[in-house]
A and B are shown apart, each in its own frame.
Chain A
Amino acid sequence: MAESASKAAPGERVVIGITFGNSNSSIAHTVDDKAEVIANEDGDRQIPTILSYVDGDEYYGQQAKNFLVRNPKNTVAYFRDILGQDFKSVDPTHNHASAHPQEAGDNVVFTIKDKAEEDAEPSTLTVSEIATRYLRRLVGAASEYLGKKVTSAVITIPTNFTEKQKAALIAAAAAADLEVLQLISEPAAAVLAYDARPEATISDKIIVVADLGGSRSDVTVLASRSGMYTILATVHDYEYHGIALDKVLIDHFSKEFLKKNPGAKDPRENPRSLAKLRLEAESTKRALSRSTNASFSVESLIDGLDFASTINRLRYETIARTVFEGFNRLVESAVKKAGLDPLDVDEVIMSGGTSNTPRIAANFRYIFPESTRILAPSTDPSALNPSELQARGAALQASLIQEFETEDIEQSTHAAVTTMPHVTNAIGVVSVSESGEEKFVPIIAPETAVPARRTVHLDAPKEGGDVLVKVVEGSTHINVIKPEPKAKEDGETKEKTEDADDDGDFDDDDEEEEEEEEEEEKREKVWKIGSTLAEAAVRGVKKGAKVEVTINVNTDLTVIVTAREVGGKGGVRGTLSA
């Protein structure tokens, strides 16, 4: 009864989108089909995923985060990734500075003093109870903002969430009196946020979603085919993330502090000092994303000594180089894992708070060709706030399905609907380039889910008349235009001399050499015409008219080709059985 009571009728739902992150969470809703991220009571749109208890009062978000300095034992942070996990698969690294996770049977628990009485026993709270309490606060903030009790939500999750983690999240939300309409993957939410903009055009493209968060980074390669998204590859990383950047700043400033105050203790070895450093490092990092200079100041860092300093962006980028390069490798490995080349990527969507760092986006610019759009605030003025993408996507999805019956949602997300065959090779027609060569014009891109239907309009020959429509398969390959042989020789001789000088440096030099070569190399993607599927004739095309070719691929991989003159009658239609 209680469960059914919490489920509002489809027409009476008040829905929001929630990004429940390991470091930060966001809530969003839609106004007239436009997503808007909601600020909580403190005015935060990125709400730290932290709960803290002081004298029996519950704090969440930024307020709770500030208690990491004064009250770390009764503060729970970074618990999203623990939800629904066995203790043995929990990574407690980030929990070190707050309440520690403990094993209790099948559950992971935190021991927290959440009662006001002085002598009250600390409570043992399961991670799902913590999640429930946190979600309740998020929903409360959203309800207050909207003036209506929020009943349902779409929540984003990482692509590698297990069924158990999903179930735990749904249960935790249900306990917070929140109906989960759907769990959607974070990269899909980010893509949806971009695709739902009114100015967006839906085309077939390969998108890399780089979700660089506080405690983890996930890179996903998606094929977006007329607004439907298929994940081609994902990589997850727990080494390169926002906290790693914070750590670089902490180390930098700690060393500076020790230099300024000889004889002082290392602030990194005192938990309280370290907590202060962490908070300040994060805000300095954010400031460095916005401006080229930032200050770093902590009062009473250790033993009553104050510390204040400044850093400029260039210095920061130098000391954080290893982390930035880690992000580069991560993105490259994801593209490689998908069996693609950077040239195949049409768009890079940068998501997550760390994506605000200008250097990371600039580095990605070098990985991908000119034609690839890098959607980050520093590289593209039309980019959306990377921290808000997922919440927006979730809110949009929530508004799309809010009137669905629960059963409809279940059926629509059923594997029979989501799992579809995808075409391997591109399907297109042969056209003639200016130089008179045959050229492949893709109509259906590879990795398109079937059933699929695409239409193109092609020019007819200048003088009109009868036209041949030759439907072929196509594939891409990367043409590498080697640099001039002379340069290569130079490199070789150089290498040889270096080799003679010092054997130990040989490997490094080799790599450098390759990098240099790669810079000079010209790489381009070319279409190769594959096997012919069908030929058709459109007769009597007028001069200067266009020919419309529609290709339909059914679930059983039969192909239906329709060709006609635009505005003309009749036309040719033929079926290729699978």
Chain B
Amino acid sequence: MNATVVSLPLPTLPEGWAAEKDFKAIGKLTQEGSSMRTLEPVGPHFLAHARRVRHKRTFSEDDRIQAQAKAKKIEQDSDSDISEEEDPMLLARDAKDWKTQDHYKVLGLSKYRWRATEDQIKRAHRKKVLKHHPDKKAAAGRADDDNFFKCIQKAAEILLDPVKRRQFDSVDEEADIPPPTKKQLAKGNYYELWGKVFENEARFSKIQPVPGFGNENSTREEVEAFYNFWYNFDSWRSFEYLDEDVPDDNENRDQKRHMERKNANARKKKKAEDNARLRKLVEEAQAGDERIKRFRQEANAAKNKKRLEREAAERKAAEEARLKKEAEERARKEAEEKAKAEREAAKKAKEAAKNAVKKNKRVLRGSVKEANYFVEGEASAATIDAVLNDVDLVITKIDADEIAALAGKLNGLTVADEIKNVWKEEVSRLVGAGKLKEGDIKALVA
């Protein structure tokens, strides 16, 4: 907290001023109108204020805690990440056996391993050198004690050379995380346990970044991308580091070539084994992956849903077609029946009309007979014939209605003159209408 400097003097203490502990409380802060206002939540000073309020710290407490936090951070940066206990067994190692040596452990980086940055390796190396340099040991009275120092130099040589480091990382079994056992899976989180394994294996991938194993909420795309990636895993892992030493003498060339061939074959074999191991790992993880089962079920459900929908649609269409057909059939039948009934009715009417005409004709013919063929006494055959011929001629000239009308007029008449008058009228009407010629009818109107 910076103080503001004011260059105005304070008054001197008046004579006789006295108070307990030299402090006299007199007034109180004006609270009236001391308003609640809202601070703008912006800027470093506000954030400091927020920190104090949230953790209920006073100014000086917060200052102290912030200072401590800062100091701790610096210390961590420098040292804590590369301080490991040195195993006495390790210190006693023979530098000649560098092939079997754990370089990370030698440098005190066993918890980082392939994750260790170059900077960490350099710092770790320097730290070890400072401690184990043979000159220091010589100063302590142990001359020629440079065994572990050689181990350190070898470790640094390998780990600081990217090619050699990869070769070593390829065969660094300490870094491997074994796949979870069934027992572990039963207890722990499936995704977490396998996730760790794959995260670890991902260090061998030529393609970075590697998709994560995800969790139970991962989408289908994510899960599929994950398995596709791992089934097509492109690994840089190689096994040169485990090669047997090739004798370096020019005398036995055959022996040398034989060894080289053997090594090459061994590498190939190991690489194939490693690929198979990885594949098995992925298959194992996939076999137990609930997400895949769930996706399959969901896909099936979706497919079934589609099929059921299709079937329902088909059924519905068939039903509709059937109903339509039935309705058509019914309509056709109704129409047929109606037509039949109409035909029959027409036939009946026709027959009735025919009968009526016949009956009326009979009345007409009967009427002339009633009038005794318009002659006195016994009518001669010729007369009868002539009259009847005329009647028939009239009948042929008039239609059924007129016949009926005529019959109506004649019906009930018995007097010959009246009958004759009716006939005469009819004949003259017909002549007037031009249907008959004067003279065609003689006997009837005579």
Tell me which residues across on chain B come within 8 A of A539, comparing CB atoms.
Answer: 13, 22
B333, CB-defined interface residue at 8 Å: no
Count of residues in A whose CB is under 8 Å from the partner chain: 95
Interface residues of B in 31-79 (CB under 8 A from A): 31-47, 49-54, 58-59
Using known A-B contacts A230-B38, A421-B35, A572-B22, determine if residue A457 contacts B9 with beta carbons closer than 8 Å.
Answer: no
Q: Tell me the nearest residue of chain B to A434, going by C-beta.
A: B8
| Chain A 202-222: CB-based contact to B (< 8 A → 1; otherwise 0) | 110000000000000000001
In the bound complex, CA of A229 to CA of B43 (Å): 9
Interface residues of B in 1-17 (CB under 8 A from A): 1-14, 17
Chain A interface main SS type: strand
CB distance from B109 to the nearest CB of A (A): 23
Of the residues A228, A417, A462, contact of B54 by C-beta under 8 Å: A417
Q: Tell me the nearest residue of chain B to A576, going by C-beta.
A: B25
Tell me which residues across on chain B come within 8 A of A441, comparing CB atoms.
Answer: 6, 8
Tell me which residues across on chain B come within 8 A of A431, comparing CB atoms.
Answer: 6, 8-11
Contact across chains for B39 and A418 when beta carbons are under 8 A apart: yes
Contact across chains for A468 and B30 when beta carbons are under 8 A apart: no
Contact across chains for A449 and B39 when beta carbons are under 8 A apart: yes
Q: Tell me the nearest residue of chain B to A469, going by C-beta.
A: B10
Of the residues B6, B39, B42, B44, contact of A420 by C-beta under 8 Å: B39
Segment touching B, from A160-168, A326-334, A422-430: A422-430
Contact across chains for B11 and A430 when beta carbons are under 8 A apart: yes
Tell me which residues across on chain B come within 8 A of A397, comparing CB atoms.
Answer: 42-43
A459, CB-defined interface residue at 8 Å: yes
CB distance from A157 to the nearest CB of B (A): 12
Q: How large is the interface on B (under 10, 10 to 19, 20 to 34, 35 or more residues)?
A: 35 or more
Contact across chains for B47 and A458 when beta carbons are under 8 A apart: no
B331, CB-defined interface residue at 8 Å: no
CB distance from B408 to the nearest CB of A (A): 82
Contact across chains for A468 and B42 when beta carbons are under 8 A apart: no
In the bound complex, CA of A462 to CA of B54 (Å): 45
CB distance from A379 to the nearest CB of B (A): 25
Tell me which residues across on chain A come within 8 A of B4, comparing CB atoms.
Answer: 203, 443, 454-457
CB distance from B54 to the nearest CB of A (A): 6
CB distance from A438 to the nearest CB of B (A): 8
B324, CB-defined interface residue at 8 Å: no
Tell me which residues across on chain A come within 8 A of B58, comparing CB atoms.
Answer: 451
In the bound complex, CA of A569 to CA of B313 (Å): 96
Tell me which residues across on chain B come within 8 A of A538, comparing CB atoms.
Answer: 22
Contact across chains for A424 and B11 when beta carbons are under 8 A apart: no
Tell me which residues across on chain B come within 8 A of A466, comparing CB atoms.
Answer: 12-13
B19, CB-defined interface residue at 8 Å: yes
CB distance from B57 to the nearest CB of A (A): 10
Contact across chains for B47 and A400 when beta carbons are under 8 A apart: yes
In the bound complex, CA of A542 to CA of B29 (Å): 32
| Chain A 396-414: CB-based contact to B (< 8 A → 1; otherwise 0) | 1100110000000001110
Tell me which residues across on chain A come within 8 A of B31, comparing CB atoms.
Answer: 424, 557, 578
Contact across chains for B13 and A533 when beta carbons are under 8 A apart: no
Segment touching B, from A138-146, A180-188, A517-525: A180-188
A496, CB-defined interface residue at 8 Å: no
| Chain A 176-208: CB-based contact to B (< 8 A → 1; otherwise 0) | 000000101101110110011000001100000
Contact across chains for A229 and B46 when beta carbons are under 8 A apart: yes
For the complex of A and B, the 6 pairs showing the least CB-CB separation, nearest first, are A227-B45, A574-B23, A188-B40, A466-B13, A412-B50, A455-B3
Residues of B within 8 A of A (CB): 1-14, 17, 19, 21-47, 49-54, 58-59, 217, 219
> Can you show 21 pairs from A to B with CB atoms below 8 A apart?
A184-B42, A222-B40, A229-B42, A412-B54, A417-B41, A431-B9, A432-B10, A455-B1, A456-B3, A456-B6, A458-B10, A473-B27, A530-B30, A532-B27, A533-B25, A533-B29, A537-B17, A546-B5, A557-B31, A572-B23, A574-B21
Residues of A within 8 A of B (CB): 1, 182, 184-185, 187-189, 191-192, 195-196, 202-203, 222, 226-232, 393, 396-397, 400-401, 411-413, 415-425, 427, 429-433, 438-439, 441, 443, 447, 449, 451, 453-462, 465-470, 473, 530-539, 546-548, 552-553, 557, 559, 561, 572-578
